Amino acid sequence: PWFQSPSHPHFLAGPQIVLSVYGPDFFGHDVVRGYGAVHVPFVPGRHKRTIAMFVPESSSRLQQLTSWFTGRRPEFTDPRVVAQGEGREVTRVRSQGFVTISFNVM
């Protein structure tokens, strides 16, 4: 069945938490510091997950320079891009650290 195949586009992997972290840059503009996603555990108890964060990058040096001066850096407008990963293989991203999150599941 389709719900047992991780390669199927409608694979039910369970709920996810999508993180979008923002912070000020050198000029005080609010810019994205990282995106990440993690599946919520189903098993009762305390769970700790470390999420690798990433940020999208401009595709050229001119775009990088322009975005630095204007404070308008590349961002994802749809959180499904982060959660699904589908189509992200053509997006240039840079690793941006980690976030640790704790779950208390009942």
Percentage above 70 pLDDT, the chain? 78
> Per-residue b/e over 51-72, b at no fewer than 16 CB within 10 Å?
bebbbbeeeeeeeeeeebeeee
List, for residues 50-68, the tens digit of each pLDDT value: 999 988 877 777 777 777 7
- pTM value is 0.71
Mean residue pLDDT of the chain comes to: 78
Give mean pLDDT, residues 11-26.
Answer: 81
Give mean pLDDT, residues 35-50.
Answer: 91
